[in-house]
Amino acid sequence: MISRAVVEALQKFVPVENIRLQEPMAGHTTFRIGGPADCFMQLENEEQLKKAQNYLNKVGVPFFVLGNGSNLLVKDDGYRGVILQIGQKMSRIVVQGCRIVAKAGATMSQVAHAALEHGLTGLEFASGIPGTVGGGVVMNAGAYGGEMSQVVTMVTVVNGEGEILELDNATMEFGYRTSVIRQSPFTVTEVTFSLERGDAEAIRSKMDELGAKRREKQPLEYPSAGSTFKRPEGHFAGQLIMEAGFRGFQIGGARVSDKHCGFIVNTGEATAEDVRELIQEIRKRVKEKFHVDLETEVVFLGWEDI
Strand partners, 143: 146
Determine which one of 91, 227, 255, 276 is catalytic. 227
Q: What are phi and psi of 112, to 5 degrees?
A: -60, -40
Q: Kindly name the residue from 127, 177, 224, 276 that is annotated as catalytic.
A: 177
Confidence (pTM) = 0.93
| Helix residue ranges per DSSP H, 163-271 | 169-172, 200-217, 237-243
User: CA distances (Å), 142 to each of 47, 126, 172, in order?
Assistant: 30, 7, 16
Phi, psi of 88 (to 5 degrees): -60, -30
Render 57-125 in DSSP notation, one character per residue.
HHHT--EEEESS-TTEEE-TT-EEEEEEE-SGGG--EEEETTEEEEETTSBHHHHHHHHHHTTEES-GG
Rounded Cα–Cα distance for residues 106 and 89 (Å): 9
Running along the chain, 306 residues long, what does each successive block of 10 average in pLDDT?
Answer: 92 95 97 97 96 94 95 96 96 98 97 98 95 96 95 95 93 95 93 97 97 94 95 94 97 97 97 98 97 95 75
Is 177 annotated in the active site?
Answer: yes
Please write the tens of the pLDDT for every residue from 68-126.
999 999 999 999 999 999 999 999 999 999 999 999 999 999 999 999 999 999 999 99
pLDDT of residue 305: 55
Burial 132-157 (b: 16+ CB within 10 A, else e): bbbbbbbbbbbbeebbbbbbbebbbb
DSSP codes of every residue in 169-193: HHHHT-BTTB-GGGGSS-EEEEEEE
What pLDDT, on a 0 to 100 scale, did the predictor assign at position 242?
Answer: 97
pLDDT at 292: 97
CA distances from 305 to 44, 71, 186, 302 (A): 33, 18, 24, 9
> 134 — phi, psi (to 5°)?
-65, -50
Q: Which amino acid is at 99?
A: R
Q: Angle 200-217/108-117 helices, nearest 10 degrees?
A: 150
**Cβ-Cβ contacts under 8 Å for 33 (sequence gap 6 or more):** 25, 26, 73, 74, 76, 223, 266, 270, 271, 272, 275
Among candidate residues 213, 171, 167, the one with its CA nearest the CA of residue 191: 167
State which H helix or E strand residue 33 sits in.
Answer: none
The span from the first CA to the last CA of the chain, in angstroms, equals: 22
Task: Give the three-state DSSP class for 137.
Answer: helix
